[in-house]
Amino acid sequence: MTKNICTLLILFATLINYGQNFTLIKNNNPKAKELKHSLNQTKDSLLLGSDTKILHAEIFNEDFEKIVLIDGFKAQISLEHIPEGKFVVEVKLADKVIIMGLMRYDIHTDEANSEMSDKNHTIAEGKGMMLDESLNVIKTVPNKSIVFILTGSNAKQQTKKNQKFYWVVTKVNNESGSCKTMKLMDEEAVGRLILRHKQELNSVSGKLNELTVWEVYNTTEFMEHQMTNPNFFYSLTSDLFNTTPYYSTHAKVANL
């Protein structure tokens, strides 16, 4: 599904009581305008509203996951127990999934980095939104190693040896169309995603969704090819990744 280039506007607010700062990265894609999303005045809750029924919302990253069942047209989700870090927020409507971002950090330790918060983040959404495991949108070929981007440390300093990474393509299919998201994930995160996907297949709203996962051998070179050719992961042969899916909704070949 072709998407227009959109800009995610970053809105900052300080939580004096908790010494924390929340940032909501809004999705300003025209296709997401039916979902109203913002922080409340005290900046401790996420407000959602839509004329289309909201089924549920999920806030997650590699180390945290919170699922809120809504089944209504409005919701106020408390952010009190959200830890510091970057999070993806997925809001499932009756006919689509809308993705936005959320950040929480200590205002005292991160004050020096506030200049970065004033910049707008432009996303080129060509054939799907591409995210790295730090939940940043991938717009260009990285000049740092993928290991550094995903973990914040050099490969030589990794405590986990033989860490595996996977290229993940998710498709949300419904009567209104489809939405595809592509991202790089580690083995633990992929395991959780597959289990969640299997649960979705048993629901009315998610029974047509698709998930395909490929194991990547060389993350840096793989991403260079992927940025040049968005369909690179469909290659029949490659030394950079296993062209036989680790998991596919229809083939179900994962070794979990």
Token match 């790089």: residue? Answer: 184
Yes or no: say if 117 and 12 are a contact pair by the CB < 8 Å rule: yes
Q: What is the DSSP letter of 236?
A: S
pLDDT for position 42: 85
Confidence of residue 194 (pLDDT cuts 50, 70, 90): very high
Confidence of residue 161 (pLDDT cuts 50, 70, 90): low
pLDDT for position 7: 30
Q: Which long-range contacts does 53-59 make (Cβ < 8 Å, 24+ apart)?
A: 53/93, 53/94, 54/91, 54/92, 54/93, 55/92, 55/93, 55/94, 55/205, 56/91, 56/92, 57/89, 57/90, 57/91, 57/92, 58/89, 58/90, 58/91, 58/92, 59/87, 59/88, 59/89, 59/102
Question: Mean of the per-residue pLDDT values for the chain?
Answer: 73
pLDDT above 80 for 210: yes
Yes or no: say if 30 and 107 are a contact pair by the CB < 8 Å rule: no
Domain definitions of the chain by residue range:
1-126, 127-256
State the Rg of the chain over Cα: 18
Which of 7-11, 37-41, 116-120, 129-133 has the weakest average pLDDT? Answer: 7-11
pLDDT above 80 for 60: yes
Which residues contact residue 48 at a Cβ distance below 8 angstroms, ignoring those fewer than 6 apart? 35, 36, 37, 54, 57, 70, 74, 75, 76, 77, 91
pLDDT for position 105: 74
pLDDT for position 204: 80
102-152 tens-digit pLDDT? 888 765 544 444 444 443 333 333 334 455 444 455 555 444 444 444 444
Rounded to an integer, the average pLDDT of 151-175 is 67
**Helices (DSSP H) in the chain: which residue ranges?**
114-117, 146-151, 187-201, 219-228
Indicate the SS3 state at residue 94: coil
166-192 tens-digit pLDDT? 999 988 887 666 777 888 888 988 999
pLDDT > 70 in the chain, percent: 67
Query: At CA 161, angle to CA 151 and CA 219, rounded to 5?
Result: 55
Residues 109 and 8: their CA atoms lie apart, in Å, by: 24
Half-sphere exposure of 247 (CA within 13 A, CB side): 21
Q: Which residue has the higher pLDDT, 155 or 225?
A: 225
Which of 52-56, 138-142, 204-208, 246-250 has the weakest average pLDDT? Answer: 138-142
Report strand pairing: 129-131 vs 177-186. Answer: parallel
pLDDT for position 238: 94
User: HEC string of 106-120?
Assistant: ECCCCHHHHHHHCCC
Confidence of residue 242 (pLDDT cuts 50, 70, 90): very high
228-237 tens-digit pLDDT? 888 899 899 9
